[in-house]
Amino acid sequence: MPDTGDILRLENLEVHFPIQGGLFDRVLGRPAGVVRAVDGIDLTIGHGEIVALVGESGSGKTTVGRVITKLAQPTAGRLLFEGADMTSVRGLSALRPYRHHVQMIFQDAYQALNSRHTVFDIVAEPLRSLRLVENDAQLTERVSEALAAAGLNPPGDFFARFPHELSGGQRQRVVIAGALAVRPELIVADEPVSMLDVSIRAQILQVLVDLRDKHNMALLFITHDLPLAWLIADRIAVLYLGKLVEIGSADEITFNPRHPYTVALRDATPQIHTDADRSKLPALQGEVPSAARVPKGCRFHPRCPLAFDRCRQDEPPAIEVGPQHLSACWLAN
């Protein structure tokens, strides 16, 4: 993994949403509660590094991606890009340079693409809106380059096509090409292959890894799928109910997990364990509870088969359990 320092740093990042209650609360302008979607996370991504953010639905991982791409505003904490504090930067023109460097790939390619635009116009749109080209020849060259990098060859064959004329895999490649066209330094990919056939997934993952290898592009890969995270990532961060509960190298998190939640995710996926590795813990039951009702103490305790009294009272800190491997569990050591 090429490592030349951090490109992105999240410091104690929080995203809380107020819940509006009944009429009385609304008249008084009083929130009825707070959804703690992201609740104080620290995370770094290095130049050319692939970090996977793993968690179930409701864990807050998409909200983290939206904050990084400036589609959501944090309630507290800091977002640093190349050392510059971007937390409070807002507005189209102020964000233009940032959007040039940081792009997002969405899960649902069909929704992400404007069905009335051709592939050429879809990929050209960020180049035009960020004013990154000076003439039509440059525009055609950059669109061709992005389509080719996303594996759509020969690029000219796709220029005049509309999204409905493409397969699911080709549509996702167009989404990737749109993000690549501006030559970003960091891409946030939110479940980019979860809606694709298994046979297409490997090809799309390979496109993303190639981009890192050729252009030293960093990637935050958001997924619920631990085996996929292991396949693509250098490091894996596990998110539960708005908190990072474990972080470490992809191999450590996958084959030596130290948090019961990560163990449960690993046990649920036979692709990455043998029966000998499998823990004797019962399978994970139920779903992530609402972020409007975060339990006291360790937030995983209502689902944790190992919970004991202290877990219901005190929130465990992240403890170093190996080189660059942190786990937030009282039993981690």
- Tell me how far apart the alpha carbons of residues 320 and 20 are, in angstroms, rounded to a whole number: 39
Amino acid, res. 137: A
- Tell me how far apart the alpha carbons of residues 179 and 150 are, in angstroms, rounded to a whole number: 10
Smallest distance from ligand SF4 to CB 309, Å = 10
For residue 220, the cross-strand partners are 51, 188
Beta-carbon count within 10 A of 224 CB: 15
Smallest distance from ligand SF4 to CB 306, Å = 4
Among 106, 158, 159, 330, contact with ligand SF4 (rule: CB under 6 A): 330
* CA 52 to the chain's CA centroid: 7
Smallest distance from ligand SF4 to CB 236, Å = 17
Smallest distance from ligand SF4 to CB 214, Å = 40
Name the DSSP class of 294.
Answer: P
Instruction: Give the nearer residue to ligand SF4 in terms of CB position, either 221 or 330.
Output: 330
202 close to 31: Cβ distance less than 8 angstroms? no
195 close to 184: Cβ distance less than 8 angstroms? no
Among 79, 253, 298, 326, contact with ligand SF4 (rule: CB under 6 A): 298
Residue whose C-alpha is closest to residue 94's, from 83, 84, 86: 86
Name the strands in the sheet holding 186-190, side by side, starting at the edge strand that comes first in the sequence. Answer: 102-105, 186-190, 218-223, 50-54, 235-240, 243-249, 325-327, 319-322
DSSP letters of 7-24? EEEEEEEEEEEEEE-SHH
Smallest distance from ligand SF4 to CB 11, Å = 24
Among 106, 120, 230, 300, contact with ligand SF4 (rule: CB under 6 A): 300
For residue 238, the cross-strand partners are 54, 246
Instruction: Give the nearer residue to ligand SF4 in terms of CB position, either 65 or 316.
Output: 316
Binding mask of the shown chain, residues 304 to 323, with x at each position contacting ligand SF4 by CB under 6 A: x-xx---x----x-------
Smallest distance from ligand SF4 to CB 317, Å = 10
Smallest distance from ligand SF4 to CB 62, Å = 23
Q: Which stretch binds ligand SF4 (CB under 6 A): 10-18, 176-184, 275-283, 294-302?
A: 294-302
Instruction: Give the nearer residue to ligand SF4 in terms of CB position, either 68 or 329.
Output: 329
Instruction: Give the nearer residue to ligand SF4 in terms of CB position, either 155 or 260.
Output: 260
Instruction: Give the nearer residue to ligand SF4 in terms of CB position, either 238 or 329.
Output: 329
- Tell me how far apart the alpha carbons of residues 325 and 318 are, in angstroms, rounded to a whole number: 9
Instruction: Give the nearer residue to ligand SF4 in terms of CB position, either 275 or 309.
Output: 309
Instruction: Give the nearer residue to ligand SF4 in terms of CB position, either 184 or 260.
Output: 260
Q: Which of residues 212-271 bind ligand SF4 (CB under 6 A)?
A: 259-260
Instruction: Give the nearer residue to ligand SF4 in terms of CB position, either 259 or 273.
Output: 259
HSE-CB of 288 using CA atoms within 13 angstroms: 20
- Tell me how far apart the alpha carbons of residues 81 and 95 are, in angstroms, rounded to a whole number: 12
Smallest distance from ligand SF4 to CB 332, Å = 7
Residue whose C-alpha is closest to residue 266's, from 70, 54, 86: 54
Smallest distance from ligand SF4 to CB 331, Å = 5
- Tell me how far apart the alpha carbons of residues 93 and 110 are, in angstroms, rounded to a whole number: 28
Q: Which stretch binds ligand SF4 (CB under 6 A): 4-12, 75-83, 272-280, 303-311?
A: 303-311
Q: Which stretch binds ligand SF4 (CB under 6 A): 5-13, 39-47, 104-112, 296-304?
A: 296-304
Determine the size of the site formed for ligand SF4 (CB under 6 A): 13
3-state secondary structure of 70: coil
Please provide the distance, in angstroms rounded to a whole number, between the alpha carbons at the two ends of the chain. 28
Residues that bind ligand SF4 (CB under 6 A): 259-260, 298, 300-301, 304, 306-307, 311, 316, 329-331
